[in-house]
């Protein structure tokens, strides 16, 4: 099952807020439809968000009915709307930069249809690149997975979080497909339960052995010697290797370090943001308090209870054993080796 499917004149988006009990799709015919889906977590995961935004930008061009002279202003509004949906995942701005660069190539053209065709092609290329990169991440990541391993993962980093296959979950898939005996411990990932609802669902579909745990059980499992490695995804990686990922990742990294367990980040190089030097510069999205006050629509505390709901945290690079990308595995010193990797 795919999170995104381009249909020629609209984007079909699997509504992940309904999984695993209902398979519901949004037919996005406009860029505002795509923006709403991203903001509402119907589509999520940094690579999937980037690809969805690219198609949203293309839809903005497809639906434009004005004169060529006003086209640029309209596309600036399209970009602004899409970019404002979620601030932490850098793949969003990366994909929109690619789309805007392609638009500028044709800015002097008087043929709007030519521009539309070029933008749709660019969005399709972005999606195809994500598929390719995920497969390579899986191949590189599989080299650090033991023949028999209990792997802890956090949030959802599979096909639902990407265009196809996945990043951290793609590594687990690659290990399983190669015949290794892997068993996955999936943290539930409160408050949105991406691990319980989505990762578990994907693992069951692929018949990969797994066990669901609550987030606060991870330390105990490590203490009992039941975790061999931790593999998670990323929404933005700073030049020094500091990584923003789903809230709770930092806790797992510290616990892994305390128990001498390898802790890996899996992400395409498009998630690396060379414009920022450290995690202190990464903007952290804070989401609606009601996501914490309730679980799947069922209230667990009164409405007036004060809530803090940051969607991400920052894991300092000193806790990261390696960053697995489509170009290879980066290790410390990250500020040096990250640049070497990107110029390959």
Task: Report, as residue numbers or ranges, the catalytic residues.
Answer: 235
Closest CA to 159 of 43, 333, 35, 283: 43
User: What pairs with residue 231 in β-bridges?
Assistant: 264
Distance CA 209, CA 217 (A): 18
Identify whether the C-beta of residue 326 lies closer than 8 Å to the C-beta of residue 133: yes
Q: Note the helical H segments in 206-333.
A: 218-223, 249-258, 290-293
User: What sign does the CA torsion over 295, 296, 298, 304 have?
Assistant: positive
Q: In the numeric block, which tokens belong to residue 151?
A: 């792997």
Neighbours of 251 (CB within 10 A): 17
Cα–chain-centroid distance for residue 236?
9
Torsion angle of the four alpha carbons 264, 46, 339, 329, in this order, in degrees rounded to the nearest 10: 30
Closest CA to 39 of 22, 56, 63: 56
Distance CA 251, CA 128 (A): 34
Closest CA to 127 of 68, 44, 13, 49: 49
Please return the burial class of 17, using the count of CB atoms within 10 Å of its CB with bins 0-12, 13-18 and 19+: middle
Closest CA to 225 of 199, 256, 254: 256
Element of type H or E holding 275 = none
* Axis-axis angle for helices 46-62, 31-39 (nearest 10): 160
């Amino acid at each position: 099952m795919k999170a995104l499917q381009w249909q020629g004149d609209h984007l079909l988006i699997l509504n992940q807020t309904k999984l695993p009990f209902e398979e519901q799709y949004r037919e996005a015919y406009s860029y505002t439809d795509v923006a709403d889906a991203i903001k509402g977590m119907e589509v999520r995961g940094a690579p999937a968000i980037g690809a969805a935004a690219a198609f949203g930008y293309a839809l903005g061009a497809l639906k434009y009915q004005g004169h060529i002279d006003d086209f640029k202003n309209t596309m600036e509004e399209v970009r602004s709307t899409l970019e404002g949906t979620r601030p932490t995942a850098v793949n969003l701005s990366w994909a929109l930069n690619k789309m805007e660069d392609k638009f500028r190539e044709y800015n002097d053209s008087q043929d709007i249809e030519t521009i539309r065709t070029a933008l749709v092609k660019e969005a399709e290329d972005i999606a195809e690149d994500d598929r390719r990169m995920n497969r390579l991440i899986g191949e590189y990541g599989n080299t650090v997975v033991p023949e028999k391993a209990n792997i802890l993962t956090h949030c959802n980093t599979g096909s639902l979080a990407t265009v196809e296959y996945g990043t951290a979950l793609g590594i687990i898939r690659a290990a399983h497909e190669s015949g290794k005996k892997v068993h996955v411990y999936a943290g539930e990932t409160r408050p949105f339960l991406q691990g319980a609802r989505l990762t578990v669902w994907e693992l069951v579909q692929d018949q990969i052995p797994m066990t669901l745990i609550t987030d606060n059980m991870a330390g105990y499992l490590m203490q009992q010697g039941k975790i061999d490695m931790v593999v998670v995804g990323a929404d933005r990686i700073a030049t020094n290797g500091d990584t923003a990922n789903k809230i709770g990742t930092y806790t797992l990294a510290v616990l892994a370090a305390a128990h001498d367990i390898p802790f890996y980040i899996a992400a395409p190089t498009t998630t690396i943001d060379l414009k920022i030097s450290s995690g202190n510069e990464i903007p952290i999205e804070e989401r609606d308090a009601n996501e914490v006050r309730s679980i799947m629509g069922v209230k667990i505390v009164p409405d007036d209870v004060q809530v803090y709901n940051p969607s991400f945290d920052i894991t300092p690079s000193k806790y990261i054993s390696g960053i697995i990308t489509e170009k290879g595995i980066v290790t410390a010193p990250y500020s040096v080796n990250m640049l070497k990797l990107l110029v390959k």
